[in-house]
Structures are given as structure tokens and as C-alpha cells.
């Protein structure tokens, strides 16, 4: 089955109306937990690492592990570079075998965003890889820092970016945020509806940690096909490590197992909400 292009996964999700989980991973235990959940539920998934996480998970060491895990998996898996802001880093991830990249120029004016996205679309085409772009600004950056003030995606800009730069997927800001929500998120489904009309490609929801199951389902109905989950898995793995410290059998191997299970349980839960189980074929 193995390593596939993200575009293939998103187009099947569009056809059969479900969401594909894009799970951020940072170490071998998280990769193993994600694959275990995907294989058990016969679900396609996306494994991803964000550029801001590279100090913890160096690309040249971690990327080959992600790619190898995808290649050996019994379900289709895309390997994605999340929130790329550097052309060089994006290119490096493609050289290392990633099948998908995100160019995040969402903080720039739309003309600049279109220009940078077009450059990455041209680069990725040489590798046959998928490109995700972003319009609008989420509350908080990927590492949970920055301003909590979100700027909704402007559907007119979504249309302009789609038509001029031709990415394969577009991430939106509809009231979602990275990190932990300070209060219950209120998603603007009108922005989603208009953006879907404006864009001819699958849409992406970032900041999936803390959105209710009901809202996830409404997003999927509204055309969201890729859903990013990072913080919830990091928290589950950290909680598993803390629980380990109370366990009777304390050695590294038990700790490693518990971290795998922490990631596995959180990812499994999300796959079931996104409706991607039994969609591997
Ligand atoms: Zn994000």
C-alpha cells in the first residue's frame, strides 16, 4: 500500500465525503502509534512534521524514518512537510521523499502569498508532490506562540490564490487556532461555505486539537478533507510518559510502549470521528 501522494488521499476523501487526519509526529514512538492506529482501522492517514519542530526532530534524521514507516505500512500514507516557510527546507523535504509540502505565506499580503505559493507549486511538480497553501491567519502559530487574534480567510483571496497559483489544497482560517483553545472555538461555517465555492480544491483545517466531534463533522460536510491534529497527540504522549512514572514496571522499554500507545489512542479516536476508517481501499 504504502507511501502515496497526499492529493490522491484528499480526492478520495472528497469523492466519499470523509476527512483524512494529518497527524503531527516528532519521534519514532509517535510514528509507530500513528501507523498502528491507521492499520488497525484500515484508514489512510497523513504523517507530518512542521518546520518549527525541526530543532526537536531534525529533518535529515527524522524524514527517512517517516518515509520508511509509510512505505512499509499496510494502508496508504502520505508524508507531509507542515507550515514550510523556507523554500530551502521545503526542497530538502522533497529531496528526502516527502510526497506533500505546505507553503505557509499566509502572513504576507495576498500577492506575495500567490508568488511564493506559485514557486513551490513549480518546485513540487518536479517531484510529483502535492502542495498545500494557506489563506487567512489562524490564532497562534504552529508552536502555540504568537497572537491569538485570528483573521478569517477572505473567500475572494481564496479564489484568487486558487486561480493564480494552483495549489492542490488550501488551508483556511475559520475561527480555528493552533495549540490549546482558551475558550470553546466558534467556527464560522459561512467562511467555509464561501471558500468552498471559491476554491476548486480540497480544504484543510488546522488546529484540530480541541474542536468538538460535532464541529469536525460539520467541517467535513462543508468540504474540509485534511484535518491537522498536533497538540492533542503531543499531550497524549506526554500524559502517557507521566503515567509511566507511576507504573510498577519502570524501564525504558515500558516507557517506549506507553508513548506508542498514547499516540495510538489519540489518533485512533480522531480517525473514527473523521470517518476515514475502512477507506484504505
Ligand atoms: Zn497549522
> Taking 80 as the threshold, does the pLDDT of residue 149 lie above it?
no
- Of the pLDDT bands very low, low, confident and very high (cuts 50, 70, 90), residue 196 is very high
How much distance in Å is there from the Cα of 207 to the middle of ligand 1? 6
At residue 246, does pLDDT exceed 80?
Answer: yes
Residue 205 Cα to ligand 1 middle (Å): 8
pLDDT tens digits, 47-69: 999 999 999 999 999 999 999 99
Contacts of 136 (CB under 8 A, 6+ apart): 106, 150, 151, 152, 153, 154, 157, 172, 173, 174
Report how far ligand 1's centroid is from the alpha carbon of 210 (Å): 14
pLDDT of 139 above 80: no
Q: In degrees, to the nearest 5, what angle opens at C-alpha 278 toward C-alphas 226 and 28?
A: 65
Residue 164 has pLDDT above 90, yes or no: yes
Mean pLDDT of all residues in 143-163: 86
Residue pair 132/162 in contact by the 8 Å Cβ criterion? no
DSSP H helical ranges for the chain: 6-16, 28-40, 59-72, 87-95, 110-125, 155-165, 189-198, 213-221, 231-244, 252-274
Q: What is the mean pLDDT of residues 242-261?
A: 93
Active-site position among 82, 104, 154, 168? 82
- The Å distance, Cα 266 to ligand 1 centre, comes to 18
Q: Are 229 and 206 in contact (CB under 8 A)?
A: no
Entry pTM: 0.95
| Distance in Å, CA 172 to ligand 1 centroid | 10
Residue 248 C-alpha to ligand 1 middle, in angstroms? Answer: 38
Over residues 201-210, the pLDDT tens digits come to 999 999 988 8
* Per-domain boundaries in the chain: 6-274
Question: From the CA of 133, how far away is ligand 1's center (Å)?
Answer: 11
6-274: which CATH number, 3.20.20.70, 3.40.50.1000, 3.30.420.40, 3.40.228.10? 3.20.20.70
Band of pLDDT at residue 148, cut at 50, 70 and 90 = low
> How many angstroms is it from 179 CA to the middle of ligand 1?
9
The pLDDT, as a whole number, for residue 219 is 97
Q: What are phi and psi of 246, to 5 degrees?
A: -95, -5
Task: Tell me the average pLDDT of the chain.
Answer: 95
Identify the pLDDT of residue 1. 61
Separation of 82 CA from ligand 1 center, angstroms? 7
In the prediction, which pLDDT does 183 show?
Answer: 82
What would the pLDDT profile of 78-102 be if each residue is shown by its tens digit?
999 999 999 999 999 999 999 999 9
Q: Is the pLDDT of residue 140 over 80?
A: no
Report every protein residue that has its C-beta within 5 angstroms of ion ligand 1: 142, 206
Is it the case that residue 117 has pLDDT exceeding 70? yes
The whole-angstrom distance between residue 124's C-alpha and the CA centroid of its chain comes to 18
**Mean pLDDT on 191-205:** 95
**Whether residue 82 lies in the annotated active site:** yes
**144 or 12: whose pLDDT is higher?**
12
Amino acid at each position: 500500500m504504502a507511501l502515496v501522494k497526499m492529493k490522491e488521499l484528499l480526492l478520495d476523501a472528497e469523492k466519499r465525503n470523509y476527512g483524512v487526519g494529518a497527524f503531527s509526529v516528532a519521534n519514532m514512538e509517535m510514528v509507530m502509534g500513528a501507523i498502528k492506529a491507521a492499520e488497525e482501522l484500515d484508514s489512510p492517514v497523513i504523517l507530518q512534521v512542521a518546520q518549527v519542530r525541526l530543532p526537536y526532530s531534525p529533518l535529515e534524521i527524522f524524514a527517512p524514518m517517516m518515509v520508511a514507516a509509510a512505505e512499509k505500512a499496510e494502508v496508504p500514507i502520505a508524508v507531509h512537510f507542515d507550515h514550510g516557510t523556507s523554500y530551502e527546507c521545503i526542497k530538502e523535504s522533497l529531496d528526502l521523499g516527502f510526497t506533500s509540502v505546505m507553503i505557509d505565506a499566509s502572513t504576507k499580503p495576498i500577492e506575495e502569498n500567490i508568488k511564493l505559493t506559485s514557486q513551490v507549486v513549480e518546485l513540487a511538480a518536479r517531484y510529483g508532490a502535492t502542495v498545500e497553501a494557506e489563506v487567512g491567519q489562524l490564532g497562534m502559530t504552529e508552536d502555540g506562540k504568537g497572537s491569538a487574534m485570528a483573521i478569517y480567510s477572505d473567500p475572494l483571496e481564496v479564489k484568487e490564490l486558487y486561480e493564480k497559483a494552483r495549489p492542490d489544497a488550501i488551508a483556511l482560517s475559520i475561527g480555528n487556532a493552533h495549540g490549546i483553545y482558551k475558550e470553546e472555538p466558534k467556527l464560522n461555517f459561512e467562511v467555509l461555505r464561501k471558500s468552498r465555492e471559491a476554491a476548486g480544491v480540497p480544504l484543510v483545517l488546522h488546529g484540530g486539537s480541541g474542536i468538538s466531534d460535532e464541529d469536525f463533522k460539520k467541517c467535513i460536510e462543508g468540504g474540509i478533507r485534511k484535518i491537522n491534529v498536533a497538540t492533542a497527540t503531543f499531550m497524549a504522549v506526554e500524559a502517557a510518559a507521566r503515567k509511566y512514572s507511576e507504573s510498577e514496571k519502570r524501564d525504558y522499554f515500558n516507557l517506549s510502549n506507553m508513548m506508542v500507545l498514547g499516540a495510538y489512542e489519540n489518533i485512533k479516536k480522531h480517525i473514527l470521528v473523521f470517518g476515514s476508517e475502512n477507506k484504505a481501499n
